[in-house]
Amino acid sequence: MNLKQIVVIVAVVIITAYLYLQPVKGLIKHDAAKPERGVAAGSRPPVPKVTVEQVSEQGKAAIGAALAATINDLEGQLKNASSDADKLDLQKKLAKQWDDDNQPAPSAFYYLEVARSENKFDDWVNAGNRFNDASKLTQDTTVQPAFIANAIEAFENATKMRPDNLDAETGLGVAYANQALAGMMDATGGPPKGIMILLDVVKKDPGNYKANLNLGQFAVQSRQFDKAVTRFKTAIANASPKDNIVEPYFFLAESYKQLGMKKEAIEAYEKCKQMIPDPVIGQKIEQYIKELKN
């Protein structure tokens, strides 16, 4: 599976989760700045221990027995490996195999182990990106804090190695913003650290696709739909061939809908529907379009 296919699948999963967690007629209101789950000001809840074995079992259940057989074989080899070099080689193979199976959480843990062993920039970024994806995709609030904390570790190491790399800086911004949104930090009344990092990225590179996409999504969560529209339009306009524009078109449509701009929302939904490979999601989006036309 190539990178573009993986990105499309991740986008479809994110959109699916969004569609089925929201009522048909709109978003659930919430206060994005308010600490969640009873976090007291000035405190942080402990990050729970999450292991690669734990997320691998969940991943195997998701991919089925046939694909899991390959994973089981590699895990058996890793368990019996006699040298550090052999263990490292098998960790790399497991990271790639989980990537091929579109399971970012176990892949992230293996990339993290490789990065901790070899301390290479690309491995830290690979680990961080996959932990950010896993954090987005999971509905399990008991594992999400660990994904976020590991993403921050990975991108902090990457940015130390290459302070001017915008991909690493963007990933760090997303991780910190996810941390604030997950209620893992107390609210200070100002913009979360992650948002400030992402704003710094777009100050350096106004058309940065990933930074604008994530700023747009965070704007949706805080119900700043006018700002979200600008971010998603910028992301779409500056997308490269390797970028997947399903996500920004979908959330652009949602933002237009919330602003009462029905014509623009329908156009964006239509664009999104053309790129969605999943007919079930396509039907759900068509339901949204019909609702707007009535």
pLDDT in tens, 107-157: 999 999 999 999 999 999 999 999 999 998 888 888 999 999 999 999 999
* Burial degree of 151 (CB within 10 A; 0-12, 13-18, 19+): buried
- Domain membership of residue 280 (yes or no) is yes
- Domain membership of residue 289 (yes or no) is yes
Residues with Cβ within 8 Å of residue 190, at least 6 apart in sequence = none
- Domain membership of residue 261 (yes or no) is yes
> What gap in Å lies between CA 199 and CA 170, rounded to an integer?
9
- Domain membership of residue 157 (yes or no) is no
The kind and range of the H/E element at 205 are none
Percent of the chain at pLDDT exceeding 70 = 81
- Domain membership of residue 282 (yes or no) is yes
Encoded tokens for 14 = 């994110």
DSSP SS3 for 238:
coil
Around 202, how many Cα atoms within 13 Å sit in the side-chain half-sphere? 22
What integer pLDDT is reported at residue 52 of this predicted model? Answer: 95
Each residue's pLDDT tens digit, 58-77: 999 999 999 999 999 999 99
- Domain membership of residue 240 (yes or no) is yes
Helix ranges (H only) for 183-278 are 193-204, 209-221, 225-237, 246-258, 262-275
With cut-offs at 50, 70 and 90, classify the pLDDT of residue 8: low
With cut-offs at 50, 70 and 90, classify the pLDDT of residue 16: low
> What gap in Å lies between CA 69 and CA 72, rounded to an integer?
5
Q: How far is CA 56 from the centre of its chain?
A: 18
Encoded tokens for 82 = 């006699």
What integer pLDDT is reported at residue 93 of this predicted model? Answer: 98
Give me the number of domains the chain comprises.
Answer: 1
Query: Higher confidence at residue 33 or residue 293?
Result: 293
Each residue's pLDDT tens digit, 194-214: 999 999 999 999 999 999 999
For residue 244, the enclosing domain spans 228-293
DSSP SS3 for 233:
helix
- Domain membership of residue 114 (yes or no) is no
Instruction: Give the dihedral sign, CA 177/137/146/5.
Output: negative
Say which DSSP state 164 is in: T
- Domain membership of residue 271 (yes or no) is yes
Whose tokens are 């579109």? That residue is 102
